[in-house]
Amino acid sequence: MASAALENLKATELRLGLPGVEDDSPAPATPRGSKRGIADNKEEEAKTVTAAPAAKAQVVGWPPVRSYRKSCFQQQSKSKPAAEAPAPEKEEAAEAPPPVAGSGSLYVKVSMDGAPYLRKIDLKMYKGYRELREALEAMFLSCFSSGSGDAAAVNPADFAVTYEDKDGDLMLVGDVPFQMFMSTCKRLRIMKGSEARGLGSSSKE
């Protein structure tokens, strides 16, 4: 399909700079939608009055997809151009704000071997690996020490932080520049140091 071809083209595009460093180019202006069968003056008028400014800022509540559903795909949707911000940001607060914030967040799930349940963190909150690691330690160590009285048994150094990238491969966190990591990381997994050796082979069945 044409759109898939476009995607591939973009991926192989030669650029200076590492992948993951986005240039905020707006969506390609395709000819679709601009061709009109009828030249209707009233219709033109209607467009200029009711439609947002020509550059098509995001309109509140359009397309009509419930915020519950939208928040589930927050990290998968294209990052919206920050330039056109005013209209959506000015909107009335949604009935109850969805758990995932607006276009400026990148939530990933974090699992830890042995921990009772998953957590979610926003990668955009961290400027680099060190902050990320500190946050993870704070989050997960507390859940261990509150369970058993055995705080000494849990040593952060025993654990390795890994992540699953876009291709589903398990990678060790810290090998690539942070920005690149942010754009390819789909989920995080904290595992025992011993298991993290020999990473590079696929983790799939």
Interaction site with other proteins (CB under 8 A): 1, 3, 6-7, 26-27, 32-33, 35-38, 40, 42-43, 45-47, 49-51, 56, 58-70, 72-73, 76-78, 80, 90-99, 109, 111, 113-114, 116-119, 204-205
Q: What is the DSSP letter of 170?
A: E
Decide: 22 and 183 in contact? Cβ < 8 Å.
Answer: yes
Of 3 and 12, nearer to other proteins (C-beta) is: 3
Closest distance between other proteins and the C-beta of residue 83, in Å? Answer: 13
| Least distance from other proteins to the Cβ atom of residue 120, Å | 9
Instruction: For residue 160, list its beta bridge partners.
Output: 191
Which residues, at least 6 apart from 178, have a Cβ–Cβ distance to it below 8 Å?
127, 128, 129
CB of 142 to other proteins, least distance (A): 10
Tell me whether residue 60 is exposed, middle or buried, using C-beta atoms within 10 angstroms of its C-beta: 0 to 12, 13 to 18, 19 or more.
exposed
- Residue 21 vs 51, nearer CB to other proteins: 51
Neighbouring residues of 39: CB distance < 8 A, sequence distance ≥ 6: none
| CA torsion angle 202 175 139 99 (round to 10) | -80
Which of 92, 152 has the CB closer to other proteins? 92
Closest approach, Cβ 177 to other proteins, in A, equals 26
Is the Cβ of residue 119 or residue 133 nearer to other proteins in the bound state? 119
Which residue, 67 or 184, is less far from other proteins as judged by CB? 67
